[in-house]
Structure 1
Amino acid sequence: MMRNPPAEPNLSSLVDAELERHRWAASVGDVGSAWWALERAHIVSQSNLLLHLRVHVIMLGYALRTADLRETGGQLLRLALAPLGTLSGRTPLGNTGRARVDPFAPMPIPGDLRRALEEAGG
Protein backbone atom coordinates (compact mmCIF):
# COMPACT_ATOMS: atom_id res chain seq x y z
CA MET A 1 0.00 0.00 0.00
CA MET A 2 1.35 3.41 -0.93
CA ARG A 3 1.46 6.07 1.73
CA ASN A 4 0.91 9.74 1.07
CA PRO A 5 4.08 11.82 1.34
CA PRO A 6 4.24 14.06 4.39
CA ALA A 7 2.50 17.37 3.89
CA GLU A 8 4.78 20.22 2.97
CA PRO A 9 5.14 22.70 5.80
CA ASN A 10 3.38 25.99 5.36
CA LEU A 11 4.44 29.38 6.66
CA SER A 12 2.15 29.22 9.66
CA SER A 13 3.54 25.88 10.83
CA LEU A 14 7.11 27.13 10.34
CA VAL A 15 6.36 30.23 12.42
CA ASP A 16 4.59 28.12 15.05
CA ALA A 17 7.61 25.82 15.36
CA GLU A 18 9.93 28.77 16.01
CA LEU A 19 7.47 30.31 18.46
CA GLU A 20 7.33 27.02 20.36
CA ARG A 21 11.14 27.05 20.48
CA HIS A 22 10.91 30.62 21.83
CA ARG A 23 8.40 29.65 24.52
CA TRP A 24 10.55 26.76 25.69
CA ALA A 25 13.73 28.88 25.84
CA ALA A 26 11.92 31.71 27.64
CA SER A 27 10.43 29.25 30.15
CA VAL A 28 13.91 28.09 31.19
CA GLY A 29 15.31 31.62 31.27
CA ASP A 30 17.47 31.31 28.15
CA VAL A 31 16.99 34.86 26.85
CA GLY A 32 19.52 34.51 24.03
CA SER A 33 17.88 31.39 22.61
CA ALA A 34 14.43 32.88 23.09
CA TRP A 35 15.37 35.91 20.97
CA TRP A 36 17.12 33.67 18.42
CA ALA A 37 13.88 31.73 17.92
CA LEU A 38 11.89 34.97 17.61
CA GLU A 39 14.33 36.24 14.99
CA ARG A 40 13.85 33.02 13.02
CA ALA A 41 10.06 33.31 13.36
CA HIS A 42 10.34 36.86 12.04
CA ILE A 43 12.37 35.80 9.01
CA VAL A 44 9.79 33.15 8.14
CA SER A 45 6.78 35.41 8.72
CA GLN A 46 7.82 38.37 6.58
CA SER A 47 5.82 37.49 3.46
CA ASN A 48 2.49 37.23 5.33
CA LEU A 49 1.16 40.37 7.00
CA LEU A 50 -0.82 38.66 9.77
CA LEU A 51 2.03 36.32 10.68
CA HIS A 52 4.50 39.21 10.49
CA LEU A 53 2.43 41.35 12.84
CA ARG A 54 1.86 38.39 15.18
CA VAL A 55 5.60 37.84 15.51
CA HIS A 56 6.25 41.54 16.19
CA VAL A 57 3.54 41.57 18.88
CA ILE A 58 5.20 38.57 20.53
CA MET A 59 8.60 40.26 20.21
CA LEU A 60 7.16 43.38 21.85
CA GLY A 61 5.70 41.31 24.68
CA TYR A 62 9.02 39.57 25.27
CA ALA A 63 10.87 42.90 25.24
CA LEU A 64 8.47 44.16 27.89
CA ARG A 65 8.83 40.98 29.99
CA THR A 66 12.61 41.26 29.88
CA ALA A 67 12.45 45.02 30.59
CA ASP A 68 14.44 45.79 27.45
CA LEU A 69 13.53 49.40 26.70
CA ARG A 70 15.55 49.64 23.49
CA GLU A 71 13.88 46.52 22.12
CA THR A 72 10.45 47.71 23.24
CA GLY A 73 10.89 50.94 21.27
CA GLY A 74 12.24 49.05 18.29
CA GLN A 75 9.28 46.70 18.27
CA LEU A 76 6.79 49.56 18.46
CA LEU A 77 8.48 51.11 15.42
CA ARG A 78 8.47 47.80 13.56
CA LEU A 79 4.79 47.24 14.31
CA ALA A 80 4.13 50.51 12.50
CA LEU A 81 6.47 49.65 9.59
CA ALA A 82 5.53 45.99 9.07
CA PRO A 83 2.26 46.63 7.23
CA LEU A 84 3.92 49.10 4.88
CA GLY A 85 6.76 46.74 4.06
CA THR A 86 4.63 43.66 3.67
CA LEU A 87 1.89 45.30 1.60
CA SER A 88 4.35 47.13 -0.66
CA GLY A 89 6.47 44.01 -1.17
CA ARG A 90 9.52 45.85 0.12
CA THR A 91 10.14 43.82 3.26
CA PRO A 92 13.91 43.33 3.62
CA LEU A 93 14.26 39.57 3.27
CA GLY A 94 16.14 37.82 6.02
CA ASN A 95 15.92 40.78 8.39
CA THR A 96 15.73 39.50 11.97
CA GLY A 97 13.33 42.23 13.12
CA ARG A 98 15.32 43.25 16.19
CA ALA A 99 15.89 46.81 17.38
CA ARG A 100 19.66 46.42 17.00
CA VAL A 101 19.43 45.96 13.22
CA ASP A 102 18.44 48.44 10.51
CA PRO A 103 14.75 47.76 9.79
CA PHE A 104 15.36 48.28 6.07
CA ALA A 105 18.45 46.07 5.67
CA PRO A 106 18.15 42.69 4.00
CA MET A 107 20.13 39.95 5.75
CA PRO A 108 21.20 36.42 4.82
CA ILE A 109 18.53 33.79 5.43
CA PRO A 110 19.87 30.78 7.37
CA GLY A 111 20.17 27.75 5.10
CA ASP A 112 17.68 25.58 6.98
CA LEU A 113 15.06 28.34 6.89
CA ARG A 114 15.74 29.02 3.20
CA ARG A 115 15.11 25.34 2.41
CA ALA A 116 11.97 25.24 4.57
CA LEU A 117 10.63 28.38 2.90
CA GLU A 118 11.28 26.93 -0.54
CA GLU A 119 9.41 23.76 0.43
CA ALA A 120 6.53 25.85 1.76
CA GLY A 121 6.42 27.90 -1.42
CA GLY A 122 7.47 31.06 0.43
Structure 2
Amino acid sequence: MKPSHPSSSIPHLVDAELARHRAAARVGDVGGAWWALERAHILSQPRLPLHLRVHWSMLIYALRLHDLREVAGQVARLALAPLAAMTGRVPVGNTGRSNVSAFRPMPIPDDLRSVMDGGPR
Protein backbone atom coordinates (compact mmCIF):
# COMPACT_ATOMS: atom_id res chain seq x y z
CA MET A 1 0.00 0.00 0.00
CA LYS A 2 1.36 3.42 -0.92
CA PRO A 3 1.96 5.83 1.99
CA SER A 4 -0.37 8.36 0.32
CA HIS A 5 -3.32 5.94 0.45
CA PRO A 6 -5.92 7.42 2.86
CA SER A 7 -6.15 4.29 5.01
CA SER A 8 -2.40 4.43 5.56
CA SER A 9 -2.93 7.81 7.22
CA ILE A 10 -5.15 6.29 9.93
CA PRO A 11 -2.25 5.45 12.30
CA HIS A 12 -1.04 9.04 11.92
CA LEU A 13 -4.53 10.37 12.58
CA VAL A 14 -4.81 8.17 15.68
CA ASP A 15 -1.45 9.56 16.83
CA ALA A 16 -2.73 13.10 16.21
CA GLU A 17 -5.87 12.46 18.26
CA LEU A 18 -3.79 10.94 21.07
CA ALA A 19 -1.57 14.04 21.00
CA ARG A 20 -4.72 16.20 21.14
CA HIS A 21 -5.85 14.12 24.13
CA ARG A 22 -2.55 14.68 25.93
CA ALA A 23 -2.64 18.42 25.26
CA ALA A 24 -6.21 18.71 26.58
CA ALA A 25 -5.45 16.55 29.62
CA ARG A 26 -2.36 18.64 30.37
CA VAL A 27 -4.50 21.79 30.74
CA GLY A 28 -7.30 20.03 32.62
CA ASP A 29 -9.78 19.92 29.73
CA VAL A 30 -11.38 16.59 30.64
CA GLY A 31 -14.13 16.87 28.01
CA GLY A 32 -11.65 17.70 25.27
CA ALA A 33 -9.34 14.90 26.37
CA TRP A 34 -12.13 12.30 26.21
CA TRP A 35 -13.38 13.71 22.89
CA ALA A 36 -9.96 13.16 21.34
CA LEU A 37 -9.74 9.63 22.78
CA GLU A 38 -13.18 8.81 21.39
CA ARG A 39 -12.13 10.02 17.94
CA ALA A 40 -8.93 7.97 18.17
CA HIS A 41 -11.06 4.97 19.13
CA ILE A 42 -13.37 5.32 16.13
CA LEU A 43 -10.37 5.56 13.79
CA SER A 44 -8.56 2.65 15.41
CA GLN A 45 -11.37 0.08 15.42
CA PRO A 46 -10.44 -1.75 12.19
CA ARG A 47 -6.84 -2.28 13.36
CA LEU A 48 -6.56 -4.37 16.51
CA PRO A 49 -3.11 -3.18 17.68
CA LEU A 50 -4.21 0.47 17.34
CA HIS A 51 -7.58 -0.33 18.91
CA LEU A 52 -5.90 -1.90 21.95
CA ARG A 53 -3.49 1.04 22.21
CA VAL A 54 -6.41 3.50 22.35
CA HIS A 55 -8.25 1.44 24.98
CA TRP A 56 -5.02 1.32 26.98
CA SER A 57 -4.80 5.13 26.75
CA MET A 58 -8.44 5.36 27.88
CA LEU A 59 -7.68 3.06 30.82
CA ILE A 60 -4.66 5.10 31.89
CA TYR A 61 -6.66 8.34 31.67
CA ALA A 62 -9.55 6.85 33.66
CA LEU A 63 -7.08 5.75 36.33
CA ARG A 64 -5.59 9.23 36.40
CA LEU A 65 -9.09 10.67 36.93
CA HIS A 66 -9.93 7.99 39.55
CA ASP A 67 -13.02 7.12 37.49
CA LEU A 68 -13.62 3.55 38.63
CA ARG A 69 -16.62 3.00 36.34
CA GLU A 70 -14.53 3.97 33.32
CA VAL A 71 -11.59 1.88 34.56
CA ALA A 72 -13.84 -1.19 34.76
CA GLY A 73 -15.28 -0.42 31.33
CA GLN A 74 -11.85 -0.11 29.76
CA VAL A 75 -10.59 -3.34 31.34
CA ALA A 76 -13.62 -5.14 29.89
CA ARG A 77 -13.08 -3.54 26.48
CA LEU A 78 -9.41 -4.51 26.44
CA ALA A 79 -10.55 -8.10 26.94
CA LEU A 80 -13.40 -7.89 24.40
CA ALA A 81 -11.60 -6.09 21.57
CA PRO A 82 -9.61 -9.12 20.36
CA LEU A 83 -12.74 -11.29 20.44
CA ALA A 84 -14.70 -8.68 18.48
CA ALA A 85 -11.91 -8.45 15.91
CA MET A 86 -11.68 -12.23 15.51
CA THR A 87 -15.44 -12.59 15.05
CA GLY A 88 -15.88 -9.49 12.89
CA ARG A 89 -18.30 -7.97 15.39
CA VAL A 90 -16.64 -4.58 15.94
CA PRO A 91 -19.41 -2.01 16.55
CA VAL A 92 -18.42 0.58 13.96
CA GLY A 93 -18.42 4.17 15.19
CA ASN A 94 -18.65 3.20 18.86
CA THR A 95 -16.82 5.77 21.00
CA GLY A 96 -15.28 3.13 23.27
CA ARG A 97 -16.39 4.70 26.55
CA SER A 98 -18.09 2.91 29.43
CA ASN A 99 -21.12 5.21 29.15
CA VAL A 100 -22.22 3.39 25.97
CA SER A 101 -22.72 -0.29 25.28
CA ALA A 102 -19.57 -1.95 23.98
CA PHE A 103 -21.78 -3.61 21.34
CA ARG A 104 -23.64 -0.55 20.01
CA PRO A 105 -22.71 0.80 16.57
CA MET A 106 -22.79 4.59 16.41
CA PRO A 107 -22.66 7.22 13.67
CA ILE A 108 -19.16 8.13 12.53
CA PRO A 109 -18.42 11.89 12.50
CA ASP A 110 -18.36 13.16 8.90
CA ASP A 111 -14.70 14.22 8.95
CA LEU A 112 -13.62 10.79 10.19
CA ARG A 113 -15.92 8.97 7.79
CA SER A 114 -14.36 10.86 4.91
CA VAL A 115 -10.89 9.65 5.85
CA MET A 116 -12.01 6.11 6.67
CA ASP A 117 -13.87 5.84 3.35
CA GLY A 118 -10.83 7.10 1.47
CA GLY A 119 -12.17 10.56 0.72
CA PRO A 120 -10.40 13.91 0.99
CA ARG A 121 -8.40 14.64 4.12
Q: TM-score, normalised by structure 2?
A: 0.91
Q: Which runs of 5+ in 1 are unaligned?
A: 1-5
What are the Cα deviations for residues 53-103 of structure 1, in whole angstroms up to 9, with x where unaligned? 000000000000011010000000000000011122110000000000000
Counterpart AA for 2:55 = H
Between structure 1 and structure 2, the one with the greater Rg is 1
Once the 2 structures are TM-superposed, how far is the Cα of residue 8 of structure 1 from its aligned partner?
4.1
Once the 2 structures are TM-superposed, how far is the Cα of residue 119 of structure 1 from its aligned partner?
2.1
Structure 1 runs (4+) deviating above 4 angstroms are none
Instruction: Summarize the alignment of residues 34-113 of structure 1 with structure 2, pairs less than 5 Å apart.
Output: 34-113=33-112
CA distance in 2, matches of 1:8, 1:25: 29
CA distance in 2, matches of 1:8, 1:66: 37
CA distance in 2, matches of 1:8, 1:31: 33
What secondary structure, in the 3-state scheme, does the structure 2 residue paired with 1:58 have?
helix
Instruction: Summarize the alignment of residues 10-21 of structure 1 with structure 2, pairs less than 5 Å apart.
Output: 10-21=9-20
Once the 2 structures are TM-superposed, how far is the Cα of residue 7 of structure 1 from its aligned partner?
2.8
What secondary structure, in the 3-state scheme, does the structure 1 residue paired with 2:117 have?
helix
| Percent identity (aligned) | 64
**How many pairs were matched up?**
115
Aligned alpha-carbon RMSD (Å): 1.4
- Quick check: 1:117 aligned with 2:121? no
Once the 2 structures are TM-superposed, how far is the Cα of residue 14 of structure 1 from its aligned partner?
1.4
What are the Cα deviations for residues 12-40 of structure 1, in whole angstroms up to 9, with x where unaligned? 11111111110110011000000000000
Match in the other structure for 2:22: 23
Counterpart AA for 2:15 = D
